[in-house]
A and B are shown apart, each in its own frame.
Chain A
Amino acid sequence: MRQSRLRQGKTYRNRDWGFLIPAFLCLGVFYYYPFIQSALYSFFRLEYTTDWLHAPFVGVQNYVAVLGSYEFWHSLRFTALFTLGAVALDLSLGMLLALSAYWIHPFFKTLLRIIIIIPWAIPRVIQASIWRWMFNSDVGIVGTLLVRLGLAESPPLFLGEPALALMSVVMAYVWKGASISAVFLMAGLASVPRELQEASRIDGAGGLRRFFSVTVPVMAPTIVIAGLFRTRDALRVFDVIIGLTGGGPGMATESLSTYAYRIYFDFNNYGIGSAYAVIIFIGVAVLSGLYIKRFLERFEFVK
């Protein structure tokens, strides 16, 4: 048996690479190749062209230009604030949703789960359009309700003032993000052993105490992974901003990705745009590296 296995191993080892080739061909053409191209672009002066073979090599000048520009630090600051707010709200609202789905009477359970994941299915840009209408300064439902409930004197200019615009973008983003987090966390909650809950209940721990001293520690790995995952997505934020504020007012809600996109396709400066993109990539890659490493540790490979 052992011998035949070994022999099989030798026969199959190389032929079965055929199964991997189609996937790698696609990834090669649409991930590795454009990635390398972008990395190359970032070292050349490329305006209105991407032909780096015939463009002047400028070394790290593009990076120096990006790091020395007001726009970079401005969009970095926005992206960082956005990410902080979005991830914190995503996870805490997601946790509340997951706890509700876990706690609620079985009669409502399936329907509640469907309702929770519906925002997930709606494309971000469409979601942004929906919220743009809801945040309308004259006839938006949010402003009108605030006024009618006596919480504001006149409808706030949600998309017209920088701080409010940031909050509006976060709000629109979190509507969907909380659903995504909730799904991750529901899985984590299901893995908390019932006996542990029971034991601490018998010990006289109240609901809140039980949550923080039993549920949260057991779920910690899930929360960390969900957090990494959500942070990675928030750092790339693009669609919601394009659909909701278009980067405005002024460039108050311009994120790293939306500004890089502008440099590419409005200013046609592929060298500078790529330097931006590479910097974003480095930030995202560090975070995602942690995530993949965790998964690799758990994945069992057939030797």
Chain B
Amino acid sequence: MKKTRWIYILLSAGLFLLIALFELGPLMWMGITSIKPAGTEFRIPMEILPVEPTLDNYAVVSGEDFRIQDAILNSLIVSGSAMLGTLLLSGLAAFAMARTRVSHKRRSFFAIQAAGIVPPIIIIAPTFVLLRSLGLLGTLGALIIPHMSYGIPLATLLIAGYFAGIPLAIDEAARIDGASSIRIFFQILLPVLKPVLFSAGVLSFLGSWGDFMHAFTVSLGLPEARTVPVAILSFSSAFQLQWAWIAAGVMLSVLPVVVLVAVFQRYLIGGLTSGALS
């Protein structure tokens, strides 16, 4: 018995290393590239481990020419605000469909989910024209409001699914006491919804954080409206020959979300599993 236990632990460790290499290998390689002195990343034969490690590349990407921190800040502002907006609007909509006596519930639900299947490519051109006529191109507003809308279908799906597990008795009691729908939502149901708000929140944050097509189109290449994906793509086409710099930029910009995911992994897995896809 004891022997099989040790074999199990050993096999587990081997499996763990194998998966870690597959999942983190590309990031580790970027990490290694980022601490090689610029130019030496092209040496042949290749130095798999950096011979003269340096942090210079990090100084370069946060210096005058790149200012990756601006893009990270832009992304944090855009994704954070979009996430809060998505949660508020989706929470209210899911509440109306799951808990109130409005008409056309099924139709509303279908209409919201139908929006979710629209491929980005079919709405990009008219959206661009619309944002241009509103004078929003090249501003963060052109990102925040659309991203907030893009998050609604998935968040509504998750939150509405979660409502099904909350006993109706909770809000019925409050209703009999004469509480208004608004009070029932904000004071009684919102605290109960916390877990699903976390998972829907992380998912809409990541959705906005990763968006490229829309962000690229409406930023017009201006630094003040550049999010992380747009910045990294424009660096890597502008500085094709300085991969050590690009690698440092990638490492810095990936850091916030890796931390986010590590902290919230429970909610990420839990959210998807409980709501939509079980």
Contacts and interface: CB of A to CB of B under 8 A. Distances in A.
User: A and B from one assembly?
Assistant: yes
Interface of A: 4, 8-9, 12-17, 19-20, 22-24, 26-27, 29-35, 37-38, 41, 50, 97, 100, 103-105, 107-108, 110-127, 129-134, 136, 138-139, 141, 144, 175, 179, 183-184, 186-188, 190-191, 222, 225-226, 229, 232, 235-236, 238-239, 242-243, 256-257, 260-261, 264-265, 270, 273-274, 276-278, 280-281, 284-285, 288-289, 291-292, 295-296, 299-302
A38 B122 contact: yes
Contacts of B258: 118, 121-122
Given A187-B277, A238-B213, A284-B117, A299 B123 contact: no
B130 A130 contact: no
6 contacts: A12-B100, A108-B12, A113-B269, A187-B278, A235-B119, A261-B121
Given A12-B181, A184-B277, A117 B121 contact: no
B79 to A, nearest CB: 11
B277 A280 contact: no
Interface string B109-129: 111111111111111111101
Main secondary structure of the interface of A (DSSP, over half): helix
B61 interface: no
B219 interface: no
Interface in B77-111: 88-90, 92-93, 95-103, 105-106, 108-111
Of A23, A114, A278, most B-chain CB atoms within 10 Å: A23
Contact of B24 (A108, A115, A141): A115
Given A232-B117, A292-B110, A117 B96 contact: no
Given A32-B115, A50-B129, A300-B164, A20 B213 contact: no
Interface in B216-250: 217, 228-230, 232-233, 236, 243, 246-247, 250
B262 A114 contact: yes
Given A22-B89, A41-B125, A284 B119 contact: yes
Given A12-B101, A261-B213, A179 B122 contact: no
B248 to A, nearest CB: 12
4 nearest A-B residue pairs (beta carbon): A187-B273, A288-B117, A37-B126, A19-B96
Nearest to A233: B119
Given A12-B101, A299-B161, A23 B257 contact: no
Contacts of A138: 42, 44
A299 B156 CA distance: 12
Interface residues of B, number: 109
B254 A122 contact: yes
Contacts of A15: 181
Interface in B30-57: 30, 33, 41-44, 46, 48
B164 A257 contact: no
Given A20-B93, A292-B110, 4 more contacts: A38-B122, A115-B23, A121-B260, A239-B210
B62 interface: no
B26 A33 contact: no
A161 B97 CA distance: 52
Nearest to A128: B233
B119 A236 contact: yes
A190 B9 CA distance: 21
Contact of B15 (A14, A100, A175): A100
B139 interface: no
A105 B12 contact: yes
Interface of B: 8-9, 12-13, 15-16, 19-20, 22-24, 26-27, 29-30, 33, 41-44, 46, 48, 88-90, 92-93, 95-103, 105-106, 108-127, 129-130, 145-146, 148-150, 152-153, 156-157, 160-161, 164, 168, 175-176, 181, 185, 206, 209-213, 217, 228-230, 232-233, 236, 243, 246-247, 250, 253-254, 257-258, 260-262, 265, 268-269, 272-273, 276-278
B125 A274 contact: yes
Given A17-B102, A29-B149, A299-B161, A118 B261 contact: yes
A236 B213 CA distance: 11
A284 B122 CA distance: 11
Contacts of A139: 41-44, 46
B46 A117 contact: no
B122 A280 contact: yes
B125 A23 contact: no
B42 to A, nearest CB: 5
Given A27-B112, A129-B233, A236 B92 contact: no
